Amino acid sequence: MVIIAIVIGCIVGALIGLNAPIISYTYSGYLAIAIIAALDSVFGGITSVLKGNFDFKVFITGFFGNAILSILLTWLGVKLNVDIYLAAIVVFVGRMFTNLAIIRRYYIEKWTKKTVKEETKNENEKKTMGEG
Amino acid sequence: MKKGKITITITIGLTFLILTAVIFIQFKTINQTDITSLENMREDELRTEISNFKQKSEEISKQIEETNLKIAEYEETISTDKEASELLEKELEQQNNLLGKNDVKGSGVIITLTDTKEQKITAQDLRELLNQLKLAGAEAISINGQRIVYDSYLVDIGDTYISVNGEGIVSPYEVKAIGNPTYLESGLSKKQYGYIDTKLEEGKDVVLTRQDNITINKYNGDLNMEYAT
């Protein structure tokens, strides 16, 4: 159910995005940081789902809060003449890699367990056949 | 299904809708934006551009200065060239005068030789006269309007006429010579063995007159060389 909602949301969002007017190049930098923050939240959410401690409120606040905060920090960095957006990118992308690694390990473990189970099952079957 | 779960589902769907929409807007923006156009540049980029343009304009104004200097130099040389070309023109005129390509004027003598019943004037007589005139310093000579130039010739054609530069002439032969009139006259009219006396003795009719304003026409043939280079 949630996955269907996600797919529909993605399709409609893509259509809206393709038909929306382009924004000024000056602000596209802020938007890029917001996108990175949001993606980080998404991967974090997936990880927490897999771990079983997914909290909807945490996810939504993280999604919008991170995006808005990163925009504000970037803006502050521009005012202070410090490239704060670099720090934001490092943190968010680093966390994205960590989360992706966790997701990868989870599925690898799952797959390994499955194959091991099947093997033991097959062996058991062979044994029974041999005995029979 | 619980009511809370539906809300969560819709909210997550909306979240992803916003996310993808923003991502696609960003894609479009990056795709369609011409980074080099001025409106899309950031302030510091604009500053560097401005300083670049300033540098360029300085360089260009330097170049303009250099070019102006060069132009002034060229103008100078052009004016000197004008002098040179004037000099060359003068020289050319002189050379043309020497070659006989121009009409020339000046004081000199006119010698008229006429056939008599007893004696005919031959080309030899005229050649002698030319030699004598040249010896006396004649600068331009013509016979019956035919300018004598470096490749002129005088040949008898039978008994009928004399060929000068390929043109036939007949008596009376009027030889014009420009030069110092005194020298010319005295050179020709030396006593006893001077040209006039000699010819008069032979019974030929030779008359010499001094004239202050003689015009000698230019040579009207070709002066081109074909084999001598």
Please indicate, yes or no, if residue B77 is contained in any of the structural domains.
yes
Does B33 contact A2 at a Cβ distance shorter than 8 Å?
no
Please indicate, yes or no, if residue B4 is contained in any of the structural domains.
no
Whether B32 and chain A come into contact, CB under 8 Å, resolves to yes
Partners of residue A38 in chain B, C-beta under 8 Å: 19, 22
**Nearest CB neighbour to A38, from listed B19, B25, B42:** B19
Would you state the pLDDT for residue A65? Answer: 92
**Is the distance from CB of B168 to CB of B162 less than 8 angstroms?**
yes
**Better-scored residue on pLDDT, B19 or A24:** B19
What is the value of ipTM here, to two decimals? Answer: 0.76
Q: Which of A4, A8, A10, A75 to mutate to test the interface with B (most CBs of B within 10 A)?
A: A10
Do both B76 and B179 map to the same domain? Answer: no
Would you state the pLDDT for residue B61? Answer: 96
Of the candidates B4, B20, B8, B27, the one whose C-alpha atom is nearest the C-alpha of residue A45 is B8
Would you state the pLDDT for residue B39? Answer: 63
Would you state the pLDDT for residue B41? Answer: 66
Work out the average pLDDT over B42-48.
80
**Residue A130 pLDDT greater than 70, yes or no:** no
Distance from CA of A41 to the nearest CA of B (A): 11
Q: Which of A25, A49, A85 to mutate to test the interface with B (most CBs of B within 10 A)?
A: A25
Q: How far apart, in whole angstroms, are the C-alpha atoms of residue B134 and residue B56?
A: 73
Partners of residue A40 in chain B, C-beta under 8 Å: none
- In chain B, the number of structural domains is 2
Work out the average pLDDT over B112-119.
83
Instruction: Return the domain boundaries, chain A.
Output: 28-124
Does A24 contact B19 at a Cβ distance shorter than 8 Å?
no
Do both B113 and B172 map to the same domain? Answer: yes
**Residue A131 pLDDT greater than 60, yes or no:** no
Do both B153 and B188 map to the same domain? Answer: yes
Partners of residue B28 in chain A, C-beta under 8 Å: 17-18, 20, 22
Partners of residue B1 in chain A, C-beta under 8 Å: 1
Residues B126-172 pLDDT 10s: 888 888 888 888 889 999 888 888 888 888 888 778 888 888 888 78
**Better-scored residue on pLDDT, B200 or B53:** B53
Position B35 confidence tier, pLDDT thresholds 50, 70, 90: low
Position B55 confidence tier, pLDDT thresholds 50, 70, 90: very high
* Biggest distance spanned by C-alpha atoms of chain B: 160
Do both B89 and B183 map to the same domain? Answer: no
**Residue B53 pLDDT greater than 90, yes or no:** yes
Residues A91-104 pLDDT 10s: 999 999 999 999 99
DSSP states along chain A = -HHHHHHHHHHHHHHHHHHSPPPPHHHHHHHHHHHHHHHHHHHHHHHHHHHT---HHHHHHHHHHHHHHHHHHHHHHHHHT--HHHHHHHHHHHHHHHHHHHHHHHHHHHHHHHHHHHHHHHHHHHHHHHH-
Kindly identify which residue of chain A lies nearest to residue B34, measuring between CA atoms: A25
**Residue B1 pLDDT greater than 60, yes or no:** no
**Is the distance from CB of A50 to CB of A102 less than 8 angstroms?**
yes
Structural domain span for residue B91: 60-99
Q: How far apart, in whole angstroms, are the C-alpha atoms of residue B78 and residue A94?
A: 75
Please indicate, yes or no, if residue B47 is contained in any of the structural domains.
no
Partners of residue B16 in chain A, C-beta under 8 Å: 5-6, 9-10, 13, 42
**Residue B101 pLDDT greater than 90, yes or no:** no
Do both B114 and B133 map to the same domain? Answer: yes
Kindly identify which residue of chain B lies nearest to residue A17, measuring between CA atoms: B21
Share of chain B above pLDDT 70, in %: 95
Do both B87 and B123 map to the same domain? Answer: no
Please indicate, yes or no, if residue B150 is contained in any of the structural domains.
yes
Would you state the pLDDT for residue A97? Answer: 93
Does B30 contact A20 at a Cβ distance shorter than 8 Å?
no
Would you state the pLDDT for residue B47? Answer: 87
Does B15 contact A63 at a Cβ distance shorter than 8 Å?
yes
Do both B95 and B151 map to the same domain? Answer: no
